[in-house]
């Protein structure tokens, strides 16, 4: 495990769906704003991740564009379970015209461990990256803004609770959240191999939509073609049409629209699959995501088993898996490998 979460607000990007993906989500209710580089971003976000499994060292990156510079603070809080460990704090400074700095705190109700010097302006996108080692004596942090180091320190206490480790991240604010667009979030633990164990640098998340039925269609559509039931637009999540199966090993694969080379100027670090799932009646069912390259014959089953236990559309949960390598080649994704990929899901016997 290295890359633990990505969110670009490109698909499944309305409040209802984001609530199904995260421990807590709030934000601009049914809308998404223009994205940082293209596509969409989200305004007014409050996003509490699920537990990403406790580790001491983390890298997080995200784009932010503050529409206004209010006196209330914005936080990115880092938790070990329910215990807050340390925080990035966006704080208004100066006199009109104001600016913001990004400061690092162990206890954001006390004094800062590091105060930023870069003056962040309103209505401007910045790409923020934080490395943090959460430890009561061997802790460390480094903040980068647009890939430039803002500050760093090591051999310090970054664990407010007194115990090392963190697993939960919370974008939030004091005194009510204020208008700021957020986009292109990544969260990376430090357990993997290069390049996925270090700052990724300015990163962009692209949404890829389903274009048709793939090489295997075994699940049952609620109506029409399978793919038309689950190719919901970013803002048109519909539980009225869906695909369903209660038969072990049934596999659906779907084709996806290609990405143009001009939209991928850098390396593809990972592909995240997302499926919104629920049971039609109470019980429990398991599935795994699946992959197939159109030039190959075999189906690659992703060993990240998912268990669905909530019944009814209201219990839908956004399940994700992150593929850092192309399951067909066993090496980093290429654009042609991605464009010729089909993805889907398979029922796993319980």
Using CB under 5 A as the criterion, which residues of the chain lie in contact with Ca ion when the complex forms?
A: 8-9, 35, 39, 183, 232, 238, 241, 256, 258, 339
> Rounded to whole angstroms, how far apart are CA atoms 316 and 20?
6
- Contact of 170 with 31, CB cutoff 8 Å: no
Q: Is 110 helix (H, G, I), strand (E, B) or coil?
A: coil
Location of structure tokens 């270090």: 198
> Rounded to whole angstroms, how far apart are CA atoms 276 and 157?
40
Give the nearer residue to Ca ion in terms of CB position, either 236 or 331: 236
Instruction: Find the radius of gyration of the CA atoms of the chain.
Output: 21
Give the nearer residue to Ca ion in terms of CB position, either 7 or 324: 7
Q: How far is the CB of 196 from Ca ion (least distance, A)?
A: 20
Q: How far is the CB of 25 from Ca ion (least distance, A)?
A: 15
Give the nearer residue to Ca ion in terms of CB position, either 71 or 209: 209
Q: Do strands 300-301 and 99-105 pair parallel, antiparallel, or not at all (unpaired)?
A: unpaired
Give the nearer residue to Ca ion in terms of CB position, either 62 or 256: 256
> Rounded to whole angstroms, how far apart are CA atoms 229 and 2?
32
Give the nearer residue to Ca ion in terms of CB position, either 8 or 173: 8
Q: How far is the CB of 229 from Ca ion (least distance, A)?
A: 5
Give the nearer residue to Ca ion in terms of CB position, either 31 or 54: 31
Token readout for 284 is 């429990």
> Rounded to whole angstroms, how far apart are CA atoms 132 and 139?
7
For residue 195, cis peptide bond before it (omega within 30 degrees of 0): yes
Q: Is 276 helix (H, G, I), strand (E, B) or coil?
A: strand
Q: How far is the CB of 80 from Ca ion (least distance, A)?
A: 29
Q: How far is the CB of 14 from Ca ion (least distance, A)?
A: 13
- Contact of 49 with 62, CB cutoff 8 Å: no
Q: How far is the CB of 299 from Ca ion (least distance, A)?
A: 16
């Amino acid at each position: 495990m290295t890359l633990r979460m990505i969110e670009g607000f490109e698909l499944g990007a309305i409040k209802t769906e984001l609530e199904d993906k995260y421990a807590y989500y709030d934000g601009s209710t049914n809308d998404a704003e223009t994205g940082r580089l293209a596509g969409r971003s989200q305004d007014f976000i409050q996003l509490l991740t699920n537990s990403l499994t406790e580790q001491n060292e983390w890298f997080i990156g995200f784009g932010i564009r503050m529409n206004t510079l209010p006196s209330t603070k914005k936080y990115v809080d880092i938790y070990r379970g329910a215990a807050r460990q340390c925080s990035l704090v966006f704080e208004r400074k100066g006199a009109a015209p104001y600016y913001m700095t990004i400061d690092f705190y162990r206890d954001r109700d006390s004094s800062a461990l590091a105060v930023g010097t870069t003056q962040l302006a309103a209505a401007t996108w910045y790409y923020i990256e934080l490395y943090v080692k959460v430890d009561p004596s061997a802790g460390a942090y480094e903040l980068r803004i647009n890939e430039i180091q803002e500050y760093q320190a090591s051999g310090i206490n970054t664990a407010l609770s007194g115990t090392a480790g963190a697993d939960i991240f919370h974008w939030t604010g004091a005194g009510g959240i204020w208008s700021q667009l957020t986009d292109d979030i990544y969260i990376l633990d430090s357990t993997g191999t290069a390049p996925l164990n270090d700052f990724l640098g300015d990163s962009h998340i692209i949404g890829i939509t389903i274009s048709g039925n793939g090489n295997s269609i075994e699940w049952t559509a609620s109506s029409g073609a399978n793919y038309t039931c689950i190719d919901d637009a970013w803002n048109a999540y519909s539980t009225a049409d869906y695909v369903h199966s209660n038969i072990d090993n049934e596999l659906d694969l779907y084709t996806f629209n290609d990405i143009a080379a001009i939209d991928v100027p850098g390396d593809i670090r990972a592909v995240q699959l997302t499926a919104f799932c629920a049971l039609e009646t109470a019980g429990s069912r398991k599935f795994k995501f699946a992959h197939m390259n159109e030039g190959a014959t075999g189906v690659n089953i992703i060993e990240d088993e998912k268990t669905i236990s909530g019944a009814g559309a209201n219990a839908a949960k956004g399940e994700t898996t992150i593929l850092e390598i192309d399951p067909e080649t066993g090496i980093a994704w290429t654009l042609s490998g991605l464009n010729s990929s089909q993805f889907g899901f398979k029922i796993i016997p319980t």
